[in-house]
Amino acid sequence: MPRYKLTIEYDGTGLVGWQRQDNGLSVQAILEGAAQRLSGMAAALVAAGRTDAGVHATGQVAHLDLAKDFHPDRVRDGINFWLRGENAPVSVLAAEIVADDFHARFSAIGRRYLYRIVDRRPPPVLDLHRVLWVRRRMDADAMHRAAQVLVGRHDFSSFRASECQAASPVKTLDRLDVSRVGDEIQVIAWARSFLHHQVRNMVGTLRLVGEGKWTAADVARALAACDRSKGGPTAAAQGLYLTAVIYPDARTTPAEGAESRRQGAARAEWG
């Protein structure tokens, strides 16, 4: 029974997130339904990260085992065929056969997220539901300087959702970069793994800096408090994208470099 690694993109608008749930349609359910139609047998997918409702992906990774030995291109194209038939906002970008011990979640050594903020007076139209809209111009440079306070190994309890199931709040944040591209501010976070809502909570905190309400010192105090009530608000899910999952045998996923110019996704190398 071959194991396949899938690289996936999706628009999370209107979906309940990656994980199959009873209260709505999930990315997992959509893909498993298409895979079952392809193979004629039930298929279970395991993802590198269980993104929340409304969160998007340009480089999600999942694995599945199929009873039939298909060429990887047929797996990609066959699943996409059934996805198109359902008008699903999901696409398989690549499929490859991997070792039986490959695990989309536990084999990963790094993950990268992008958060997009449009800070201008006119509302976005083409990127509606795909960016956070802020009506006033923010200070991206100040946000970047404050973000460096969070880089490194810390107790991130102040940026952890109350329902987070991680065994420890201690994580190592490898990079947290903030840059401006026209009317868009991009926040890029790199780490082996993240706490639930960690990226959205960090972005919500950095927004306070961009608006002149907080300083880098305030961010440092919030981090040191190890208390969620001392951190900034949780940024909306619609601006968040899972853009890459890194594995020991490759520095980037097949989706790397395929992020559109319109989305303004960063093309930095894993460093």
How far apart, in Å, are the Cα atoms of 233 and each of 24, 178, 197? Answer: 26, 18, 11
Q: Does the residue 264 lie in any domain?
A: no
How many residues are given for the chain? 271
Task: Quick: pLDDT tens for 202-214.
Answer: 999 999 999 999 9
* In a shared domain, residues 135 and 202: yes
Q: Which CATH number do you get for residue 86?
A: 3.30.70.580
What is the predicted pLDDT for the residue at 253?
Answer: 47
Q: Does the residue 263 lie in any domain?
A: no
Q: Does the residue 259 lie in any domain?
A: no
Give me the amino acid identity at 34. A
* In a shared domain, residues 122 and 239: yes
Q: Which of 98, 132, 153 is the last residue of a domain?
A: 98
Strands 240-246 and 110-119, by their bridges, are antiparallel
* In a shared domain, residues 91 and 14: yes
Residue of 109, 189, 107, 178 lying closest to 156 (CA atoms): 189
* In a shared domain, residues 11 and 133: no
Q: Does the residue 185 lie in any domain?
A: yes
CA distance 123 to 118: 8
What integer is the mean pLDDT of 12-19? Answer: 96
Give me the amino acid identity at 105. R
Task: Quick: pLDDT tens for 51-73.
Answer: 999 999 999 999 999 988 999 99
How far apart, in Å, are the Cα atoms of 51 and each of 5, 48, 217, 252? Answer: 18, 9, 31, 19
What's the token pair of residue 193? 């793994």
* In a shared domain, residues 81 and 131: no
Instruction: Provide the mean pLDDT of the chain.
Output: 92
* In a shared domain, residues 158 and 229: yes
Three-state secondary structure call for residue 106:
coil
* In a shared domain, residues 116 and 183: yes
Strand ranges in 120-249 using DSSP code E only, listed in sequence order: 132-134, 152-155, 170-181, 184-191, 240-246
% of the chain at pLDDT higher than 90: 88
Q: Is 100 one of the annotated active-site residues of the chain?
A: no
Q: Which of 50, 71, 98 is the last residue of a domain?
A: 98
Q: pLDDT band for 170, please (50, 70, 90 cuts).
A: very high
Instruction: Provide the sign of the torsion angle of the four alpha carbons 160, 120, 177, 17, taken in this order.
Output: positive
Given 11, 22, 52, 139, which residue is catalytic? 52
* In a shared domain, residues 154 and 114: yes
Q: Does the residue 163 lie in any domain?
A: yes
Number of domains in the chain: 2
Q: pLDDT band for 250, please (50, 70, 90 cuts).
A: low
* In a shared domain, residues 116 and 238: yes
What's the token pair of residue 217? 């010192």
Task: Find how far residue 136's CA is from the centre of its chain.
Answer: 26
Looking at 3-7, 64-68, 92-96, 255-259, which range is the least confident one? 255-259
Q: Which domain holds residue 177?
A: 110-246
Q: Does the residue 138 lie in any domain?
A: yes
* In a shared domain, residues 69 and 165: no
Q: pLDDT band for 258, please (50, 70, 90 cuts).
A: very low
* In a shared domain, residues 153 and 121: yes
* In a shared domain, residues 181 and 121: yes
